[in-house]
Amino acid sequence: MLFGFVIGPTDPGALRAQARWAQAQGFNVLFLDDEPGAPRGLDPLESAAYAGAVTETIGLVATAAATHAEPFHLSNRFSALDWGTRGRAGWLVTVDPSASRASAYSASVPASGPAARREADAVVDAARRLWDSWEDGALIADSTTGRFLDRDRLHYVDAGGELFRIRGPALMPRPPQGQVPVFARDPLVEADVRVVRTPQPGAFVELEPSSDLPGPGVGGVLLRPAPGLEARLAELRASGTLVPPRPGRTLRDQLGLLRPAGRYTEARS
C-alpha cells in the first residue's frame, strides 16, 4: 500500500518545507492540489516542478483541469515535469464546468457536466498521443555524425475533434515514464488510477489520519495535514506499513504500472 500526502497552494518557502518533510516521513507521493479562490501564486504544475528540485524519491502528482485546456501545452508541461524529476510526475485530471473557469478561458458558455467529462477524455487522449509522438530513440544527439533526430521516429498525432485539433508532434522527447500516470476523482474520466472516498481495488482512498487503514487491494491512501499525523506516521513506519520509496524508482514503478510501448512504435513494428 502506498501513502500520499496532499497539500494545497502555498508560498515557495512553505512548499519547500512541506515537500522535504513529506519525503522524510516516507510518503510515496506528494499530491499538489488546487483550491478555487486561493490567493494567486504558483499553480500545481509549477509547485510540482519546484518540489522536484528539492526532493529525490517522492512522486509528484499535480492537479490540472482539462476543462477549456490546451492539450498541446498541458501535455508538454507534464512531459517537462517528468524529465525534470526523472520519472516522478503524475497528473490528477479534474473537470471544472464552472462559469469562473469559462470566463478565465474566454469561453462563451460554461461546459455542462457531461460535456466537461467528454472534453476531459479528449484532452487526456490527446496528451497521451503527444507523449507517444516521439518514439523511444528518436533523439540521437550524436556529435560525431551530426545527427540530432531520427525523423522517422517522430509522428503526427491528428488528435481532437469539435473542441480542438492537434497535428503534433510534441515539443520534446517521450517522457521517461513513457506515459505520465493519470489520476482522476471523477469516475467517468479515463485514468490509470482512481482517487476515491470509499475504498476500491487499486484506488487511492482519502482518509483522516485517525481512520483505520483499508483492507488489501487498495492502491494507497491520501492524507492531509492534521493534528496527530506525525504520530500516526511513526506508528506506520514502526510496523513496516509505511515503506519509503527507493531511489531511482519512477512513479509508475511505485504504482506497479509497466512502462508502455509507444503506440506508433507498435504500428511500425
Query: Mean pLDDT over residues 87-93, rounded?
Result: 99
Confidence of residue 101 (pLDDT cuts 50, 70, 90): confident
- CA dist., res. 241 & res. 233, Å (int): 9
**pLDDT tens track for 133-143:** 999 989 888 77
Mean pLDDT taken over the chain: 91
CA distances from 32 to 105, 136, 235 (A): 22, 29, 25
pLDDT of 23 reads 98
Evaluate if residue 35 carries a pLDDT over 80.
no
**Domain segments of the chain as ranges:** 2-255
Rounded distance between C-alpha atoms, residue 215 and residue 200, angstroms = 10
Q: What is the pLDDT of residue 269?
A: 54
CA 6 from centroid of its chain's CA atoms: 13
CATH number of 2-255: 3.20.20.30
Instruction: Name the packing angle between helices 113-131 and 71-84 (round to 10°).
Output: 50
DSSP H helices in 26-142: 44-53, 71-84, 99-104, 113-131
Tell whether the model's pLDDT for residue 145 goes beyond 90: no
pLDDT at 24: 97
